[in-house]
Amino acid sequence: MAAPRAAGPGPAPLLRVAAECGRSRARAGELRLPHGPVPCPVFMPVGTRGTAKGVTAAQLAALGCRICLGNTYHLGTRPGPELVRRAGGLHGFMDWPHNLLTDSGGFQMVSLVELSEVTEEGVRFRSPYGGEEILLSPEKSIEIQNALGADIVMQLDDVVSSTTTGPRVEEAMHRSVRWLDRCIAANRRPEQQKLFAIVQGGLDPALRTACLEEMTRRDVPGFAIGGLSGGEEKDRFWRMVKLSTDRLPRDKPRYLMGVGYATDLVVCVALGCDMFDCVFPTRTARFGSALVPWGSLQLKNKQFAKDFRPIDENCDCPTCQRHSRAYLHALIRSETAALHHLTIHNIAYQLNLMGSIRESILAQRFPEFVREFMGAMYGARERVPAWVVEALAAVGITLD
């Protein structure tokens, strides 16, 4: 299969690696993007329709967020790419001065499976808004993303659930490679909008290896690890992540899609991943759950009714600086303001966690950080999940 490559000397690499852990695969650096540098490893909040649910773009920026996500499928159907383009792209539309990443719409093949049909041409959706049929081809996905103007754009991939088995997984992997070539050819703004490939192959090591071999022959600025974090066993999840990072180029960013649990972030940084996204911190906030270093607080519970401490006494987010657990508990069943405050805290928790990870890598103390994190999260060593212990050991980190 031919692999298209750009002629002549290419642009400066997207990723600058500043430090690497001397034991594991963890590394710290920055993504050099049009709307400013992004320190990494980085967690990217998900703003499906132009903002993360429950917070404004200005609040995201104030928390230190320098890159967030938009959803091509949803923005492409409503309000539509032409309207967003006329507003100055998604940056202008949502008044966001920092970087954006747009997904390709491929994930909706799983999340809206009853409304979609996949062929070589693309994926046909039945719009959940008006019922009309929409064809999202690789070319159309890139056309929409070019109009939205995100700094990083994703190829359209053929996505199947991570628990799917059989010939459909191989079909999706090969089609994702073919669609990558079509996306490369369709991208009209390759200097301003960096196109990432998405590695597929399910939980089959041979298929994922074949996909890695093909996709790494393409001269793309970065790579995403797709098709995971969809309900598969964690033991199989981490092995597929490691298989992927083992074979991805050292000098390009590695984006693990759909991962947001704190333990998963720490482990997958150790395995060599640089970028993450997930709706988890904002979604769990809407259920009254606050993220803390020892797990989470379910603030609907009566035990917090007279607890005048902040969610986390060591957190400097606006919620923890101004409001008590008791106040949030009192509001949470009837006032949406409580969910707003929890969303701000949870995003701050994720961003602060990634900041601490980066600092520990730069200071050459990442293994010590991992042990401290696991101690705070689980307490006794025997309470740490077996998959975590095995994954960390595979890259030289022990918890003893």
* Residues identified as active-site: 103, 277
Is 377 in a helix, a strand, or coil? Answer: helix
In order, the DSSP letters of 128-179 are TTT--EEEE-HHHHHHHHHHHT-SEEE-------TT--SHHHHHHHHHHHHH
Q: Which two tokens stand for residue 123?
A: 């994926």
- d(Cα 169, Cα 175) in Å, to the nearest integer? 10
Question: DSSP 3-state assignment of 93?
Answer: helix
Query: Using CA atoms, how far apart are residues 53 and 56, in angstroms rounded to an integer?
Result: 8
Give the distance between the most distant pair of CA atoms in the chain: 67
**H/E run at residue 31:** strand 27-33
Residues in the chain: 400
Vertex 71 angle, CA 159 and 290, to 5°: 100
Amino acid at site 265: L
CA-to-CA distance for 236 and 25, rounded, in angstroms? Answer: 19
Residue 334: CB partners within 8 Å, gap ≥ 6? none
Token reading at 308: 């005048």
Radius of gyration (C-alpha) of the chain in whole angstroms: 21
Q: Is 251 exposed, middle or buried (0-12, 13-18, 19+ CB in 10 A)?
A: exposed
Give the E-state strand segments of 229-371 in sequence order: 254-256, 275-277, 289-292, 295-298
| Number of CB atoms found within 10 A of residue 197's CB | 29
| 3-state DSSP assignment of residue 220 | coil
* β-pair partners for 27: 20
Nearest CA among 71, 21, 60 for reference residue 272:
21
Query: How close are the terminal C-alpha atoms of the chain, in Å?
Result: 48
